[in-house]
Copies of this chain bind each other. A is one copy, B any other.
Amino acid sequence: MSLRNFFCPGSVAVIGAAREEGKVGRNIFDNIINSGYKGKLFPVNPKADKIHGIKCYHSVLDIPGDLDLAIIVIPVKFVLQVLEECSKKNTKWAIIISAGFKETGIEGAKRERQLIEKAKDYGIRILGPNCLGIIDTECPINATWSPHMPPRGKIGFITQSGALGTAILDWAITNKIGFSKFVSLGNKAGISENDLFNDWENDKDTEVITAYIEGITYGREFIRISSKVSKKKPIIVIKSGNTDAGARAVSSHTGTLAGSAKAYEAAFKQAGIIRANNTRDLFNYATAFSYQPLPKGKKVVIITNAGGPAIMAVDECDKSNIFLASLGKETINSLKEFLPEAANFYNPVDILGDALADKYKKTLEVVVKDNNIDAVVVLLTPQAMTQPYRTARAIVEVMENSGKSIPVLTSFMGGSEVKKAIKFLAENNIPNFDIPKEAIDTLKVMMEYTDWKSRKSFPIEDFNVDSRRVKKIFYQCQNEGRLKLGEIEAREILEAYDIRIPKAELACDIDEAKEIAGRIGYPLVLKIVSPDILHKTDVGGVKIGIDNEKELEGNYNQILFSASKYIPDANIRGILVQEFIKDKKETIIGMSEDPQFGPMIMFGLGGVYVEALKDVSFRIAPLSRQVAREMVEEIKTIKLLKGTRGEDPSDIDSIIEIILRVSQLVIDFPEILEMDINPLFVKKQGEGSIAGDVRIRIGG
């Protein structure tokens, strides 16, 4: 259902409109009037006959005709009753400003659950409770208790913190940042960021979607909706609360390294969300997106009247993987015609400290004709002869007449000397940044968004696997209360999903072990098999590189001895005699369950790389092949897999294949809570990968 009628309703009742100034109910009523709202407005207050000379209704039920939107600003104990009355007026929407719900504790949470149920019964969609309200600058309506109505613009802003919302509104008005819509989410009992993203995908007034979010409720839905909407409009999000709270019950490597912050990071990447670290970045990005076209590539040209700021800008380009465009010969020759000899005709184009507006103008005119450039950054410091305002005018004029769709960002640095110029630039949709760093940071984000938009989406593949076999194993384990699967069963599960494992057989005594060794051939690996031992290495339960029968015998006994020393009561099912994989690299593929987003897949290089460097990458399942490749390429140690110093490259394709199969496995079986394939032996290109060991923990 479109939210158009919610943002710009035909009729609004303020239930709890107060006569006393300063009260929230009065503020909202006043703000709606002052914002120029053109629909029908009904104050409701059992004790008032008139507010502002406007007839006040004692009950919602007294309002003539149907009611589109109810804004409820009354003590919490009356909210449910009023909601029922609203339903009798065929009310479609309710904004519940009132606090006293989930945010206050257990009792409040109960009240909120009732509210959600009732709203569903009545067919009323709610925003809040415990929120600031909404603003629609096009309608126009300011249905918040904040008197700040920002100017019209193309930015839609959602905030999960009402208090932050008030600061943003105040800031936006002071700095003349235009908004299309403003929504304070409150407790998110009804309308959530997902609904708003979905709605704003097709909202003609909103070109850039921004949000401050503390937590996401429906993670998978969030990824689905965002990845669709972000292809059409940039979504910029601040996600706060990134410290992982408290201890979680984890027993795998993946579980230890995962956590809510990693999950959000992965989800945002997959959803094409542009992440801002703070409100300054958020609005830097949002303004640039709403003012300027997207760059087509990564090549920037810098025009400056000051060397120092240009050097700093170049430093930032270097950090951000933005290239300095090589200007064409023709461009350089044209510049030489009018720039002084001491100028720099290459990039950054330094037109020197005494440059007047006209020199900026001519330079920009020449430069934007050059087809080698994807973006322009103009720097200016107010020196003795500088004309900031005229230069601003020149920039606007040149870009208007250029017929080119190239983003222009400026950094006019200084204070009062550049103030008028910056204001003019903003009025003409050219974003100015206090320091060159922020212009380049923003450009980087725009360039990455261009990449995202142009990226094709690939489908999730469906492998032909033997899921029935896995189902059986899990069923049996759950029945027996064994929730940490032993190696034998875990190996079977991998086999069922066509993930290669080393040849291996379980030996119950040393004679059997020798027999098996004869079949598999040396060198071998020996591993203890016991449901009570998860970290085999820690108890001396693994021996590698067994070269002959003598070594086999010695190591066999040693394993049994040390295992019994460490964990005397362990139920030992035997010793796995296993093929030793030669010429390989060790990696790890894991999965852990995130409360917000569901199964999350991890990849990294094995052993010390995982433990000491934490050099791993995460994505939320299910994964497309493209996303799986991305996560493999993302780790810092990828060079070790691609081969350094003439070494053979490893079989990266086979890693990706296994990641996809693990992704399918954990989606097929939500009972899997944690899983580690560690090590995953990767052989050289074309020779595949083999799961050396696997551990799986399932739910009961």
Interface residues of A (CB under 8 A from B): 22, 24, 27, 103-104, 145-146, 159-164, 166-167, 170-175, 212, 214, 238, 240-243, 277-280, 305-309, 311-312, 314-315, 318, 342, 353, 381-385, 413-419, 434-437, 537-538, 608, 611-613, 636-637, 639-640, 644-646
The reply to whether B315 and A241 form a contact with Cβ atoms under 8 Å apart is yes
The residue in A163, A311, A416, A636 that gathers the most chain B C-beta atoms within 10 A of its C-beta is A163
Chain B positions within 8 Å of A279 at CB level:
413, 435
Q: 17 new A-B pairs (CB below 8 Å) besides A164-B308, A240-B315? A: A22-B384, A27-B384, A103-B342, A104-B342, A162-B383, A163-B308, A167-B306, A167-B414, A170-B415, A174-B416, A240-B308, A241-B315, A278-B436, A279-B435, A538-B645, A608-B644, A613-B637
Chain B positions within 8 Å of A646 at CB level:
538
**Minimal Cβ-Cβ distance residue in B for A437:** B278
In the assembled complex, how far is the CB of residue A303 from the closest CB belonging to chain B, in whole angstroms?
A: 14
A selection of 27 A-B contacts at a CB cut-off of 8 Å is: A27-B384, A146-B384, A161-B306, A161-B308, A161-B311, A163-B306, A163-B307, A163-B309, A163-B353, A163-B381, A164-B306, A167-B381, A167-B414, A170-B416, A171-B414, A174-B416, A214-B308, A240-B312, A241-B315, A242-B318, A243-B318, A278-B435, A278-B436, A538-B645, A611-B639, A613-B636, A613-B637
Chain B positions within 8 Å of A413 at CB level:
164, 167, 171, 279
Count of chain copies: 2
How far is it, in angstroms, between the C-alpha of A242 and the C-alpha of B314 when the chains are bound? Answer: 9
Chain B positions within 8 Å of A382 at CB level:
166-167, 170
In the assembled complex, how far is the CB of residue A385 from the closest CB belonging to chain B, in whole angstroms?
A: 8
Enumerate the 3 nearest inter-chain pairs by beta-carbon distance, A residue then B residue, closest first.
A174-B415, A161-B308, A163-B306
Chain B positions within 8 Å of A637 at CB level:
608, 612-613
Chain B positions within 8 Å of A241 at CB level:
311, 314-315
How far is it, in angstroms, between the C-alpha of A636 and the C-alpha of B609 when the chains are bound? Answer: 11
- If A171-B414, A416-B173, A640-B612 touch, whether A435 touches B280 (CB-CB below 8 Å) is yes
The reply to whether B434 and A280 form a contact with Cβ atoms under 8 Å apart is yes
How far is it, in angstroms, between the C-alpha of A281 and the C-alpha of B250 when the chains are bound? Answer: 40
- If A279-B435, A312-B278, A611-B639 touch, whether A170 touches B27 (CB-CB below 8 Å) is no
**Minimal Cβ-Cβ distance residue in B for A317:** B243
The reply to whether B308 and A212 form a contact with Cβ atoms under 8 Å apart is yes
How far is it, in angstroms, between the C-alpha of A305 and the C-alpha of B240 when the chains are bound? Answer: 17
**Minimal Cβ-Cβ distance residue in B for A105:** B342
In the assembled complex, how far is the CB of residue A359 from the closest CB belonging to chain B, in whole angstroms?
A: 14
Chain B positions within 8 Å of A238 at CB level:
312
In the assembled complex, how far is the CB of residue A331 from the closest CB belonging to chain B, in whole angstroms?
A: 23
Chain B positions within 8 Å of A414 at CB level:
166-167, 170-171, 174
Chain B positions within 8 Å of A644 at CB level:
608, 611-612
The reply to whether A305 and B163 form a contact with Cβ atoms under 8 Å apart is yes
From B145, B278, B608, contact of A640 by CB (8 A): B608
**Minimal Cβ-Cβ distance residue in B for A173:** B415
**Minimal Cβ-Cβ distance residue in B for A175:** B415
How far is it, in angstroms, between the C-alpha of A312 and the C-alpha of B159 when the chains are bound? Answer: 13
Chain B positions within 8 Å of A27 at CB level:
384
How far is it, in angstroms, between the C-alpha of A163 and the C-alpha of B414 when the chains are bound? Answer: 11
How far is it, in angstroms, between the C-alpha of A217 and the C-alpha of B414 when the chains are bound? Answer: 29
- If A171-B415, A383-B166, A435-B280 touch, whether A307 touches B161 (CB-CB below 8 Å) is yes
In the assembled complex, how far is the CB of residue A136 from the closest CB belonging to chain B, in whole angstroms?
A: 21
In the assembled complex, how far is the CB of residue A391 from the closest CB belonging to chain B, in whole angstroms?
A: 14
From B163, B170, B240, B612, contact of A418 by CB (8 A): B170
